[in-house]
Structure 1
Amino acid sequence: MVKEQKLATYDGDEIFIREWSEVEKPVGIVQIVHGMNEHSGRYAELASKLNQAGYLVVADDHRGFGLTAKSEAELGHIEPSNGLEMMLQDQEIVKHHMEQKFPDLPYFIFAHSMGSYITRVFITRHSLDGVILAGSGLQPTLLLAAATRLASHFVKKYPARKNHLLNKLAFLGFNHTFHEKHPYSWLSRDPLVQEAFAKDPLCGPVVGTSGFFDTLFRAILASQIKENVWSVPNGLPVLLLSGTEDPVGHYGKDIPKLAVKLSEAGVKDVTYKLYEGARHELIHEVGKETVITDIINWIEQKKKRTVTFASFLTYLSFTKNNILSGR
């Protein structure tokens, strides 16, 4: 069973969230941060498996997407003036919402694609017990800078207009290695997933505005600048997942490089896994059961570490109080 509601944002708007909470004795929380041109409803299967493992799950529809968008015209639009900061604050609001209700549970984030870039900035500001980044990557700095300048140019003229040129450039070449003719072959080897994405009015038909692409490019840029990479907490467990046929991760090349960058920045617990033949959407791929099992097993390992550490802190506190009270 999924609970749906809206949360007030810091700028006076609202974001739509889904909570999957059919868990008798929850052992942790997983917040899902979805990707571009999709919505939280696509994560129901992952949420169900996490619930079965004892985890409460929450996910928002990002501003401009899914049921957070107030109208069809607003789908794919983010106000560019402070778009990235607002998206980061929205994730903070979702996290705060869950932590208020369940303050003592270990807290994890699973983030996909665009959501992974947002989360790579988010983790430099907020504490977590672990983060899983799926379908992420590293983009060439010069190309990214050029894309950002181009988006900024369009923003000055018509920020809220659908930008078909930037949309085309953003996905340029993503399908060229695949024999299928479907426009969303790059997402998954499963033809049912490709077609469902194309027919979902909150996914395939959505074209981002100039304001959205300006925000997207700035998020990617912010996620990989040295200052932010080196600001990731050294003790944060990080799991990086990608497919060897994912064009966003340059076909398996980016994730090992990102793992090295994080390790060089002092992050001590970085693990990555590449799934042979898998494309962009790992939890909607052929063999998704293995991916979901890997995610749950990793969270279980890190949750146990968190509980052990929390127990140690409780012991220290108990010992200190006994000493102070003369017991």
Structure 2
Amino acid sequence: MPFSQQRTVRSPTGADLNLFVKQADGQPRAVVQINHGLAEHAARYARFADFLAARGFRIYVHDHRGHGATKAPDAPLGRFADRDGPAKVIADVNAIHDLIATEQPGLPVILFGHSMGASVALNYLLAHSPRVHAAAIWNGNFSQGLLGQVALGILAWERMRLGSDVPSRLLPKLTFQAWGKAVPNHRTLFDWLSRDEAEVAKYIADPLCGWDASVSMWREVVSMALNGGKDASFAAVRRDLPVAVIGGEKDPASDYGKGTTHLANRMRKMGFSNLVSKVYAETRHESLNEVNRDVIMNDFAAWADGVLK
């Protein structure tokens, strides 16, 4: 089923955010605020929104800057901003959160993020945790360390040679393309996303998916992930916050689930007492589009039910 609403929300950053809303079936119990991944868009979460709406959740999901139908003077497709991209992305998320607080006063908000959206959600959490009832950090990798610094070095070289606002030539080869080639007997270079051939085909056919991000966007995506990799960044986050850290065993983007386990272990060592984590066997990057998505979505719903009690 389509979303209940699609509308434009003006952010204080100057972006016109393309927002989808799904009404809950009956009186809503909570809001799930979804953050999508790199080189995709909010409309791809319609099935998940339908699933959650049937269980009493209201869903808000917007296209991030440089993605989908969101428009901003400094953010064409593939670029967050001319400067301060991460800060503007987080400010946009906060603008949607403000809207939720106005339209659904008093309802708890569960923050959800997939892949790049996991970095966005985590960075939002690091700055605004009092506003969030619980957080689901899916399919991210915050343990890049030296590799992340190497990526920034490559991108600095590309920026010097090519400029910031052109597609990176090297990062797609080191990420999307390398991950696709790593899948045994792959049919396409996007098979790393899912074992479901139909879902991969839909992604490839979607003109708003799979494009090459600019040098500046890659720099900012890597920087957000590296920020989430610093224990000091978590200083202001309350340690009893319910958090679910989820990944896939066959997801090259999260180092085959090792990134999931690393983040969960770090947070437990930092004293997070209400954290659950799971790496799903045989599961690739897009959990919500995988062949075992019904199991994964039901597990999310059970966790969300638990944190609302």
TM-score, with structure 1 as normaliser = 0.88
Pairing 1:182–2:188 present: yes
The Cα shift of 1:252 comes to 2.1
Q: Do the aligned residues in 2 keep the contact of 1:230 with 1:266 (CA within 8 Å)?
A: no
For residues 266 and 180 of structure 1, what CA distance do their matches in structure 2 show?
A: 41
The one-letter amino acid of 1:163's match is S
Q: Which has the larger radius of gyration?
A: 1
For residues 291 and 302 of structure 2, what CA distance do their matches in structure 1 show?
A: 19
Tell me, what secondary structure is at the counterpart of 1:78? coil
Structure 1 counterpart of 2:215: 210
Q: How many residues align?
A: 302
For residues 9 and 133 of structure 1, what CA distance do their matches in structure 2 show?
A: 24
The Cα shift of 1:22 comes to 4.3
For residues 219 and 144 of structure 2, what CA distance do their matches in structure 1 show?
A: 16
Structure 1 unpaired stretches of 5+: 305-327
The one-letter amino acid of 1:237's match is P
The Cα shift of 1:230 comes to 4.0
The one-letter amino acid of 1:248's match is A
Structure 1 counterpart of 2:87: 85
Structure 2 counterpart of 1:113: 115
Pairing 1:270–2:275 present: yes
**1:295/1:130 Cα in 2 relative to 1: closer, same or farther (>3 Å)?**
same
Question: Which residue, out of 5, 9, 13, partners 1:11?
Answer: 13
For residues 253 and 246 of structure 2, what CA distance do their matches in structure 1 show?
A: 12
The Cα shift of 1:70 comes to 6.7
Q: Do the aligned residues in 1 keep the contact of 2:15 with 2:65 (CA within 8 Å)?
A: no
Q: Do the aligned residues in 1 keep the contact of 2:133 with 2:242 (CA within 8 Å)?
A: yes
Structure 2 counterpart of 1:322: none
Pairing 1:288–2:293 present: yes
The Cα shift of 1:30 comes to 0.3
Q: Deviations over 1:65-114 (max 9, x none)?
A: 0011479x922122252000001111111111011111111110111000
Q: Deviations over 1:151-180 (max 9, x none)?
A: 234345522112232222233531313222
Pairing 1:164–2:169 present: yes
For residues 71 and 39 of structure 2, what CA distance do their matches in structure 1 show?
A: 12
Pairing 1:54–2:59 present: no
- The 5-angstrom pairing of residues 105-144 of structure 1 reads 105-126=107-128, 127=130, 128-144=132-148
Structure 1 counterpart of 2:232: 227
The one-letter amino acid of 2:28's match is P
Q: Deviations over 1:219-262 (max 9, x none)?
A: 11111112113443212111011111011221122222211100
Q: Do the aligned residues in 1 keep the contact of 2:168 with 2:213 (CA within 8 Å)?
A: yes
For residues 293 and 257 of structure 1, what CA distance do their matches in structure 2 show?
A: 24
For residues 159 and 62 of structure 2, what CA distance do their matches in structure 1 show?
A: 26
Structure 1 counterpart of 2:4: 2
Q: Do the aligned residues in 2 keep the contact of 1:80 with 1:215 (CA within 8 Å)?
A: no
Structure 1 counterpart of 2:262: 257
The one-letter amino acid of 2:275's match is V
- Percent sequence identity over matched residues? 25
For residues 294 and 33 of structure 1, what CA distance do their matches in structure 2 show?
A: 19
For residues 19 and 47 of structure 2, what CA distance do their matches in structure 1 show?
A: 16
Moved more, 38-47 or 95-104: 95-104
The Cα shift of 1:199 comes to 0.7
Q: Do the aligned residues in 2 keep the contact of 1:244 with 1:275 (CA within 8 Å)?
A: yes
The Cα shift of 1:132 comes to 0.8
Q: Do the aligned residues in 1 keep the contact of 2:40 with 2:209 (CA within 8 Å)?
A: yes
For residues 98 and 81 of structure 2, what CA distance do their matches in structure 1 show?
A: 23
Q: Do the aligned residues in 2 keep the contact of 1:80 with 1:212 (CA within 8 Å)?
A: no
Structure 2 counterpart of 1:194: 200
Tell me, what secondary structure is at the counterpart of 1:174? helix
Q: Do the aligned residues in 2 keep the contact of 1:244 with 1:279 (CA within 8 Å)?
A: yes
Q: Deviations over 1:265-288 (max 9, x none)?
A: 121111011211010000100010
For residues 3 and 153 of structure 1, what CA distance do their matches in structure 2 show?
A: 43
For residues 3 and 60 of structure 1, what CA distance do their matches in structure 2 show?
A: 11
The Cα shift of 1:48 comes to 0.4
